[in-house]
Amino acid sequence: MAKKSGFILTTVLSVLFSLAANAASTLTQGEIDTLKFMREEEKMARDVYLTMYEAWGIETFANIAESEQKHTDAVKNLLDRYGIEDPVKVDTIGVFVDQELADLYTTLVDQGMISAEQALRVGALIEEVDMEDIVNAIAETDERMIQRVYGNLLAGSENHLRAFVSQLEMMGIEYEAQILSTEEFEHILDGDDDQDSEQTETDSATESVSSTTRGGGRGRSR
């Protein structure tokens, strides 16, 4: 009986590993690289915001850092779903495999430490950069699962940008877009800030990815 149980366990593990390998093989190297980058980019945003909250005590940073944690977790679930190695080996603030992100983290934190205003400007800039990267990432994949998660990240970044701009306006400061066009920026500011909806959708996407991973489904649509 013990031998039979051991055989069954070995077979199940073999099937799971095979499914993960097959899932990863459906993605291009570009899609894989982007997923890894997005995992660390969302972590970088979280790390900066946690550091800014500790420095300035502005609650907006703490709230958005919590949201960024959900975002990086959602991308982590995609990595697991497709059997891709997670670049985040140690979840330590300021530590990244991607050297470009490591350097950017240092630069942004240094800038944000100048003043509370600069910290909020850094937050807004991060969200602009995130949006540009996410839009490009969506355009490079036809995987519906990935597109859905990226879409939720994009909606979150729009909410976060509005929150940072609002905080600056409360200080009597007008923020001008650094990456987005004026039209894109104004369109986002005119949108509705629905943090609860963002959280629900991100959680739903995360649960969906996790469920698909456990079930072994590939979710490929062409």
Q: What is the 3-state secondary structure (H, E, C) of 23-63?
A: HHHCCCHHHHHHHHHHHHHHHHHHHHHHHHHHHHCCHHHHH
The 10s digit of each residue's pLDDT in 19-65 is 444 455 589 999 999 999 999 999 999 999 999 999 999 999 999 99
CB 105 within 8 A of CB 69: no
Q: Are 150 and 133 in contact (CB under 8 A)?
A: no
pLDDT of residue 136: 98
Q: Domains in the chain, ordered, with CATH?
A: 29-189 (1.20.1260.10)
Rounded to 5°, the CA angle 206-36-154 comes to 55
Q: Which residues of 143-163 are buried (b: 16+ CB within 10 A; e: fewer)?
A: bebbebbbebbbbbbbbbbbb
Predicted TM-score (pTM) of the model is 0.80
Query: Residue range 89-101: average pLDDT?
Result: 97
pLDDT for residue 191: 86
* pLDDT value, residue 216: 38
Average pLDDT value over all residues in the chain: 85
Other C-beta atoms within 10 Å of 28: how many?
11
What is the reported pLDDT for 213?
41
Residue 163's pLDDT is: 98
Q: In terms of pLDDT, which residue wins out, 26 or 99?
A: 99
The answer, yes or no, to whether residue 8 has pLDDT greater than 70, is no
Q: Is 13 helix (H, G, I), strand (E, B) or coil?
A: helix
* Residue 216 zone, left/alpha/beta (φ > 0; ψ -120 to 50; rest): left
pLDDT in tens, 189-200: 998 765 444 544
